[in-house]
Structure 1
Amino acid sequence: MAKKAKTEEEIAAFRERVCDAATRLFTERGPQNVTMRQIAAEVGVSAMTPYRYFQDKDEILATVRAAAFDQFSNALEKAMAEAPDARAKARAVGDAYVAFAHANPAAYQLIFSFTQPDEERFPELVRANSRAQQTMVSYVQDMIAAGLLQGDAQLIGYMFWATLHGIVVLELASGLRGMDGNTLREKIMRTLYAGMQAHPPTLDD
């Protein structure tokens, strides 16, 4: 008797199980040290079963990284949407960024610690990555439009992004011995804003 075909819901559920298992292995061992056989064993299926749903390990990695990028973008976009004005958006993005990294270390690692060759093979990853980059620039564009900043929005956004990332990585690695991350963030941001001759959004409003 022929085996009953899986429904779309069952396929989606199994793909999610594979992605959850792969995420655990990727973050624990690094993608280069994970095989499809190990992913299958983690899920509790035969070694060939994941190949029915994913072309290879790179596709699984691209899928979980795209999901992490979207999770990151969702958090920041929500914070921006709830901010009352352009100045408040800068504070909201910074707070949401740090909160996301601490609440979702696996997703943060998937975004920033791993890369893979030929990422353009995976349109969903390209889309999600582009969305995250735009999210880190759009609030700067709003500040420039409001007359709060002057300059290239992408360059300024990436400056702020690099600052937040550096602080978060040090915090997660317990590298900020004797220094509070929020204090460091405020001092660096004030220095950056002063260099651009702009009044910064305070971190203690």
Structure 2
Amino acid sequence: MPRTLSRSEVDQFKAQLCAAAERLIERRGSTDFTMRELATELGCSPMLPYRYFKDKDEIIAAVRTAVLHRFAAALEAPLPAIADPVQRSRAVGEAYVGFAFANPQLYRLMFDLAPVERGRYPELDAAIARARATMTSHVTALVQHGLLQGEPEVIGHLFWSSLHGLIVLELAGQLGPQPGFQKLRAAQIEALINGLRRR
């Protein structure tokens, strides 16, 4: 009869299982793996993961949750040291781009999968909310300082959706060297700021 595991042991194994799933996702560029393949990656019996997760969907949700928290942390990291709202916004943008290009498969995992119904995985809901807040909250200071006009959340989503589009095209190899990602991004930011600048 298997011994009862402590909470820390359970959490440790679940983290190892999620790390193994993350490695498979990064290698394959998709979530198209079986539970048997996941067990092989981890070096355990095929049935062991089911002691800790209901099914593969629950594992993918846990991986997405962890990745979203790492993503949000990367965007939050430069903020305490920067007082100027423009520099803060720029730092968030750089952190966003840096994370996406350093982790292309995980970036796709965060945003390209079909949405999960709200409430099914509360921890995933919380991670999504944190990431979205981090991507848009820096705009509030720009509006408060009179640099932009409009609703901060709406403006933040405009910046987010436009940058996401450029990143997806770049990751897919669709932009090409001319004009290139950096030049397009600079033009995109300038166009958005000029359109939203307080007059």
Equivalences for residues 127-146 of structure 1 within 5 A: 127-146=126-145
Is the 1:70–1:132 Cα contact (8 Å) retained in structure 2? yes
TM-score w.r.t. length of structure 2: 0.89
Is the 2:68–2:131 Cα contact (8 Å) retained in structure 1? yes
Match in the other structure for 1:183: 183
- d(CA) in 2 for partners of 1:54, 1:96: 32
Listed one character per residue, the Cα deviations across residues 134-188 of structure 1 (whole Å, up to 9, x for unaligned) are 1111111111111111101111101100121112122222222122322211111
Listed one character per residue, the Cα deviations across residues 113-139 of structure 1 (whole Å, up to 9, x for unaligned) are 213543421110000001111111111
- d(CA) in 1 for partners of 2:174, 2:39: 36
Aligned length, in residue pairs: 197
The unaligned stretches of length 5 or more in structure 2 are none
Is the 2:75–2:96 Cα contact (8 Å) retained in structure 1? yes
Equivalences for residues 56-205 of structure 1 within 5 A: 56-177=55-176, 178-198=178-198
- d(CA) in 2 for partners of 1:180, 1:47: 46
- d(CA) in 1 for partners of 2:29, 2:192: 37
Amino acid at match of 2:72: S
- d(CA) in 2 for partners of 1:21, 1:119: 26
Amino acid at match of 1:68: V
Amino acid at match of 2:159: F
- d(CA) in 1 for partners of 2:68, 2:50: 24
- d(CA) in 2 for partners of 1:46, 1:108: 30
- d(CA) in 2 for partners of 1:23, 1:115: 18
Is the 1:23–1:106 Cα contact (8 Å) retained in structure 2? no
- d(CA) in 2 for partners of 1:126, 1:194: 34
Match in the other structure for 2:21: 22
TM-score w.r.t. length of structure 1: 0.87
